[in-house]
């Protein structure tokens, strides 16, 4: 396992550079890193699924200043915009929802309502997701895929680890907002980076299995938590610093 740690530590040092974000090596963070507005950054994360180059192309086409415009302007400007599972109504609705939220509250404050009780990332995310659905008052398959559903809970109202998806895009957003280095933005100061959960995507999932970091074969929240716990053996205070390295190892087929 020491050899694996050495490999990952080396990759972290190599990858912790602005050069990692380019049109030659596309990532939604390439677009998100241009902004300080948390609502804009969250949009970049939520649309961050599919082929990386197409994600960046779509994000580049969006006018995020619409978040501060009237809803009639949003309706008009985004009338022809769609992305994979989201039709134009879904895209317009997420912009209008974020506009409404932005006028009354910060995403950070909403997240902290759930997080601060037990330093629970999952409860913080659940609070945010429920608030977005409540304010949108809208339901469609594309919109629910974009925003995610609230977490499934057991009879004691505890969030289930088995039966929930890894919530990759949400955990990626938190990595961007909480961690602070040459890649991540560090805009949220009241969340401890040691509490973060790895944004488990198919690349990190497969690479982690190949490296022996994860034995579990099911792609779910339980696997994300188990991998996070394993990475804490390498760095207990900042386990998610290995996320980008694992992702690139898989994306670039280094193994």
Give the tens place of pLDDT for each residue, 51-68. Answer: 999 999 999 999 999 999
pLDDT score for 154:
97
185 forms beta bridges with 180
Which tokens hold the place of 195? Answer: 């509490």
pLDDT at 200 over 90: yes
pLDDT at 255 over 80: no
pLDDT score for 230:
98
**b/e 211-246 (16+ beta carbons within 10 angstroms → b):** bebbebeebbbbbbbbbbebbeebbeebbbbbbbbb
pLDDT score for 55:
98
- Quick one: pLDDT band at residue 21, thresholds 50, 70, 90? very high
pLDDT score for 89:
98
Cβ of 185: how many Cβ atoms within 10 Å? 19
Mean pLDDT within 25-33: 96
pLDDT score for 1:
85
pLDDT at 254 over 90: no
Calculate what percentage of the chain has a pLDDT beyond 70.
100
CA 213 to chain CA mean position, Å: 21
CA distances, 15 to each of 28, 48, 89, 95 (Å): 16, 20, 38, 32
pLDDT score for 241:
97
Phi, psi of 86 (to 5 degrees): -105, 125
CA dist., res. 245 & res. 243, Å (int): 5
CA distances, 178 to each of 16, 194, 243 (Å): 15, 10, 13
pLDDT score for 109:
98
CA dist., res. 65 & res. 96, Å (int): 12
Residue 66's Cβ-count burial label (10 Å; 0-12, 13-18, 19+) is buried
Query: Residue 242, SS3?
Result: helix
- Quick one: pLDDT band at residue 253, thresholds 50, 70, 90? confident
Arithmetic mean of pLDDT over the chain: 96
Which tokens hold the place of 91? Answer: 């895209």
Which tokens hold the place of 164? Answer: 């929930």
Asked whether 59 and 31 are in contact (CB, 8 A), the reply is: yes
CA distances, 52 to each of 24, 127, 170 (Å): 10, 28, 17
pLDDT at 207 over 80: yes
CA dist., res. 129 & res. 134, Å (int): 9
- Whether the CA torsion 149, 152, 156, 162 is positive or negative: it is negative
pLDDT (tens digit per residue) in 136-156: 999 999 999 999 999 999 999
pLDDT (tens digit per residue) in 75-110: 999 999 999 999 999 999 999 999 999 999 999 999
What pTM does this model have?
Answer: 0.96
- Scanning the chain, the segments in alpha helix (DSSP H) are 2-15, 28-32, 38-46, 52-61, 71-77, 88-104, 107-115, 121-136, 141-147, 168-178, 202-210, 221-231, 243-251
């Amino acid at each position: 396992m020491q050899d694996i740690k050495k490999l990952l530590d080396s990759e972290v040092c190599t990858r912790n550079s602005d050069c990692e974000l380019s049109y030659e090596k596309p990532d939604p963070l390439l677009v998100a890193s241009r902004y300080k507005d948390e609502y804009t950054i969250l949009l970049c994360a939520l649309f961050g699924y599919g082929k990386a180059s197409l994600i960046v192309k779509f994000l580049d086409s969006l006018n995020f200043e619409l978040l501060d415009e009237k809803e009639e302007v949003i309706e008009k400007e985004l009338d022809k915009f769609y992305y994979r599972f989201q039709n134009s109504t879904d895209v317009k609705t997420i912009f209008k929802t974020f506009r409404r939220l932005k006028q009354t509250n910060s995403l950070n404050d909403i997240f902290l309502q759930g997080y601060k009780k037990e330093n629970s990332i999952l409860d913080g995310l659940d609070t945010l997701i429920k608030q977005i659905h409540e304010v949108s008052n809208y339901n469609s398959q594309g919109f629910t895929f974009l925003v995610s559903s609230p977490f499934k809970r057991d009879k004691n109202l505890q969030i289930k680890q088995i039966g929930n998806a890894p919530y990759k895009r949400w955990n990626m957003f938190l990595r961007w907002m909480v961690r602070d280095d040459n890649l991540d933005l560090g805009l949220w100061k009241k969340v401890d980076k040691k509490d973060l959960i790895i944004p488990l995507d198919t690349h990190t999932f497969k690479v982690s299995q190949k490296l022996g970091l994860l034995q579990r074969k099911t792609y779910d929240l339980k696997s994300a938590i188990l991998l996070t716990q394993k990475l804490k053996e390498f760095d207990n205070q900042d386990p998610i610093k290995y996320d980008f390295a694992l992702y690139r190892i898989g994306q670039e087929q280094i193994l």
